[in-house]
Structure formats: structure tokens, C-alpha cells
């Protein structure tokens, strides 16, 4: 079933009408659709960006409001409706947003938080025994969001118009399939993409960890002959040794890209090891987004990219020479909150004559929750550019935010 913009809009109006006007109460202990749970989520955030280029420093203060309603379950059926709004606060709008939004184009450094009001989620869900399914606009995430995520860091998060099934034949095995007809991107409706995506994933939980296999078969529905097919395996787990917790992850994937007559292929590999001791966790990782002989870089277009390869977002598009990211991360608890320090060293997977060193980055974060409903946080990213031919410049970013959930 293809979910067009018009279809989703009609579905949303129909769902809202059911929620507001349904008067048929169910028998016994089952609830009628009007009896559910409403919720609201606010996030006020300042983002500042300074770069060694001709653009002016960016300053953005935005408020994201998420208003939602979930029905109770009726004979296995339930529904969710969420509306999302992003507004500039106090006239602090000294930032640019790239096409197709084109807000203050070319004047300031970029902050990817345009003003928008849209349907964030609108889906029906059916669950019975070992299987559940969802139809409509929804959040879909896999693993740690490396290939499929909701880009929750941005004020306008990513969702999908999709039909999704999740099956657990046993406690240790799960199967997940989604057919996506539209990618609702983070730059408001103008940037949304029609698609014909198949997302398949299976997990097998064992005592040492979880072994996962996936196939992400992506296709933009834009009248071009295109495909982006990725197949991979992932193993992640942890082991307790007396007072030390050992963490480990191994992952490998291969990818084929096609656009009309152009064809490329590249590989992905990831190794991470860590240890936790007395509230402190340290990790050492090595991630490679491979290159097809300097012509194409491994791509993860549906990922929560901000969570990987540095918070300064210098590598949301993989360079054609590929990317090697060696990093160390140390985090823990302090005064009721959580702190994290990460250092990245970037280089090319397939160096060219002029591009090998892709720079380095230091990331700092502290998040403090209080009174159950509130959270404040501060985060800083300092990227130092490498080879000039790589086309990147020194970049500093600062975020300060507060959230409230009711």
C-alpha cells in the first residue's frame, strides 16, 4: 500500500475524528478509543557555530514542541497521533538552512533546524501474541541507528511512511521488516523523499551477545534508475568479569550503488571494545566507511548521522576517498548527571595524491536530569581540519538545551 501525502493526511483526519467522536464503548474491561494518553514534549535549544570561512557565525534558538495522543488497546488495535512544531524564539535566527529550505542562504554557518509544523507520527498498530504490525507515519530505528534512525538530535526528527512487521518466534529470535514509501527528512516537508525501501533485519540473542543480519534495499522513487543495497552482519555484547564489564562489537557490511549507468560498490567495517569499572566506561573504536577506488564513499542515508564520526557533522556525506575513524570515548556520572568525552582521528580509506588526513575532533557533553520531567544539557564539538584539498575548515559548535516532558 503506497502512502502518499494525501493518503497520510486523510488517515490523520480520520484517526483524529475516531479519537474525538467515538461513542461506542466496548464490553467488559476493554477500553473505548477515546480513553488513551496524551503527552507533550518541549525542547528549547541554542546552537552556535563558528567556522574558518567567509560565513558569519551562526546563532539559533529554537523550540521544538511535540504533541501526541495514544489510544488504549482495543482487541489488539491501538493508534498514535503526534504533531510537531519548530519555532525560532526571541528572534535569534542568525543561521542558514540549505536547499530546499533556503533560509538566509549563504550568509551564516548552517544549522539544520528550519521552522515547520507537520505530522510527526500517525499510525495504527495491531499486536497479537508474537507479532505486531504498524501502518502509517512512524519512527523506525535499528541497532544504534547506524543504518536506520530517527535523527532525534535535530528538532524536526526523521520518520517514515511505512508498513512494518515485527515477529518474535522465540525469546532469542526476532525478525523485522519494513516497506517504506516516504522518508520524512529533517529539513521539513520540502526535503521529504518518496521511496521504495525494503528494510529487513533479524537478531539472534545468545549469552555472549546478539548476532544480527540485515539487508537494506533502498530506492528513491524519483523517475531515475537507482538503488542502494546494503547487506551486513553485526555482533554486539557484554561480559561481566568480577567488577569489570567488558563491551564488544564487530560489524561488517557490503554495499552496491547504482544511478542510471553509474555503478559503485564499497565495504563497511566496525570494531569497538570497551570496559566499565566503578561508574566509568571507556571505549576504543575503529570504523571504516570504504571507498570504491576513490570514486565513491560508503553511504548510510537513513542513519542518525549526528551520532557518528563527530558531532560537528563534517562527515554526514562520506567523502569519495572513504573515511577511517579511530576514536576513544570515556564517560561516567557526575553530580547526578552524565558526562562524555570523545576524541576522533579521521583519515581517508583510499588516499588520493592530495587527500589523506581528514582532521580530528574533540567532543564534550554533560546532561543533567532533574525533577523527573526535566533535563538540561551542554555539548561542544571542536573539529580541526586536515588536508586543505579535503574541503573542510576548522569548526566549533556549542549547544545548550532544556527539555520538559508531560
Name the pairing type of β-strands 262-277 and 280-289. Answer: antiparallel
Q: What is the pTM of this model?
A: 0.90
Q: What is the H or E stretch that residue 12 is in? A: helix 5-21
Q: In angstroms, how far is CA 110 from the centroid of its own chain?
A: 19
In this structure, what DSSP letter does residue 57 have?
A: P
With a pLDDT cut of 90, the percent of the chain lying above it is 90
Q: Residue 387 and residue 179: Cα distance in Å, rounded? A: 41
The model's pLDDT over 198-218, given as tens digits with 9 standing for 90+, comes to 999 999 999 999 999 999 999
Mean pLDDT, range 148-158, rounded to an integer: 97
Q: Say whether pLDDT at 223 is over 60.
A: yes
Range of weakest confidence among 31-40, 92-101, 173-182, 309-318: 31-40
Domain that holds residue 257: 5-405
Helix or strand (DSSP H, E) at 222:
none
Residues 6+ apart with CB under 8 A from 309: 287, 315, 323, 325, 344, 346
CATH number for the domain that contains residue 350: 2.40.160.10
Distance set, CA 334 to CA 282, 297, 306 (Å): 15, 39, 24
Contact 389, 404 (CB under 8 A): no
The per-residue pLDDT for range 260-314, each reduced to its tens digit, is 999 999 999 999 999 999 999 999 999 999 999 999 999 999 999 999 999 999 9
C-alpha 332 chain-centroid distance: 23
Q: Which helix (H) or strand (E) holds 15?
A: helix 5-21
Residue 347: its pLDDT value, please?
A: 98
User: Residue 27: pLDDT above 90?
Assistant: no
| 3-class DSSP assignment, residue 173 | strand
Cell of 309: 564520526
List the grid coordinates of 81: 497521533
Is 11 in a helix, a strand, or coil? helix
* C-beta of residue 306 within 8 angstroms of C-beta of residue 153: yes
Residue 33 confidence class, pLDDT cut points 50, 70, 90: low
Q: Is the peptide bond before 100 cis (omega within 30 degrees of 0)?
A: yes
- Tens digits of per-residue pLDDT, 301-337? 999 999 999 999 999 999 999 999 999 999 999 999 9
Q: Tell me how far apart the alpha carbons of residues 318 and 384 are, in angstroms, rounded to a whole number.
A: 17
CA end-to-end distance (rounded Å), the chain: 35
All 3 cell numbers of residue 233?
A: 552482519
pLDDT of residue 35: 74
Total of domains in the chain? 1
| Pairing of β 357-370 and β 395-405 | unpaired
Q: Is the pLDDT of residue 96 over 50?
A: yes
Q: Mean per-residue pLDDT for 37-51?
A: 97
Band of the pLDDT at 158, cuts 50, 70, 90? Answer: very high
Higher pLDDT among residues 370 and 8, named by residue: 370
Contacts for 281 with CB less than 8 Å, ≥ 6 apart: 245, 247, 274, 275, 330, 331, 332
- The DSSP 8-state label assigned to residue 352 in this structure reads -
pLDDT at 32: 52
Amino acid at each position: 500500500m503506497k502512502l502518499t501525502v494525501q493518503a497520510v493526511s486523510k488517515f490523520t483526519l480520520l484517526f483524529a475524528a475516531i479519537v474525538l467522536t467515538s461513542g461506542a464503548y466496548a464490553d467488559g474491561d476493554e477500553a473505548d478509543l477515546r480513553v488513551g494518553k496524551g503527552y507533550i514534549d518541549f525542547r528549547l535549544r541554542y546552537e552556535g557555530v563558528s567556522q574558518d570561512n567567509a560565513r558569519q557565525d551562526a546563532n539559533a534558538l529554537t523550540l521544538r514542541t511535540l504533541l501526541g495522543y495514544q489510544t488504549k488497546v482495543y482487541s489488539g488495535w491501538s493508534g498514535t497521533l503526534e504533531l510537531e512544531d519548530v519555532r525560532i524564539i526571541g528572534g535569534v535566527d542568525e543561521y542558514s538552512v540549505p536547499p530546499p529550505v533556503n533560509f538566509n542562504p549563504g550568509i551564516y554557518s548552517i544549522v539544520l533546524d528550519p521552522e515547520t509544523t507537520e505530522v510527526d507520527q500517525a499510525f495504527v498498530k495491531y499486536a497479537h501474541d508474537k507479532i505486531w504490525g504498524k501502518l502509517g507515519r512512524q519512527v523506525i530505528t535499528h541497532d544504534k541507528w547506524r543504518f536506520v534512525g530517527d535523527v532525534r538530535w535535530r528538532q524536526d526528527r526523521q520518520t517514515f511512511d511505512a508498513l512494518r512487521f515485527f515477529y518474535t518466534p522465540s525469546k532469542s529470535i526476532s525478525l523485522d521488516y519494513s516497506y517504506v514509501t516516504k522518508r520524512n527528512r529533517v529539513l521539513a516537508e520540502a526535503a521529504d523523499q518518496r521511496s521504495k525501501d525494503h528494510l529487513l533485519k533479524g537478531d539472534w540473542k545468545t549469552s555472549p551477545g546478539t548476532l544480527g543480519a540485515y539487508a537494506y534495499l533502498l530506492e528513491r522513487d524519483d523517475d531515475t534508475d537507482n538503488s542502494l543495497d546494503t547487506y551486513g552482519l553485526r555482533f554486539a555484547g557484554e561480559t561481566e568479569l568480577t567488577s569489570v564489564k567488558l563491551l564488544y562489537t564487530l560489524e561488517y557490511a557490503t554495499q552496491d550503488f547504482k544511478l542510471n549507468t553509474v555503478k559503485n560498490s564499497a565495504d563497511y567495517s566496525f570494531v569497538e571494545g570497551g570496559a566499565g569499572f566503578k561508574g566509568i566506561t571507556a571505549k576504543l573504536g575503529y570504523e571504516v566507511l570504504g571507498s570504491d577506488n576513490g570514486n565513491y564513499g560508503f553511504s548510510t542515508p537513513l542513519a542518525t548521522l549526528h551520532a557518528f564520526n563527530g558531532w560537528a557533522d563534517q562527515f554526514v556525506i562520506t567523502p569519495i576517498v572513504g573515511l577511517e575513524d579511530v576514536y576513544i570515548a570515556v564517560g561516567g556520572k557526575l553530580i547526578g548527571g552524565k558526562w562524555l568525552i570523545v576524541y576522533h582521528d579521521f583519515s581517508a580509506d583510499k588516499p588520493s595524491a592530495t587527500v589523506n588526513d581528514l582532521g580530528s575532533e574533540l567532543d564534550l557533553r554533560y546532561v543533567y536530569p532533574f525533577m523527573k520531567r526535566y533535563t538540561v544539557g551542554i555539548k561542544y564539538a571542536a573539529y580541526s581540519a586536515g588536508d586543505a584539498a579535503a574541503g573542510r575548515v576548522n569548526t566549533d559548535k556549542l549547544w545548550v538545551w532544556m527539555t520538559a516532558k508531560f
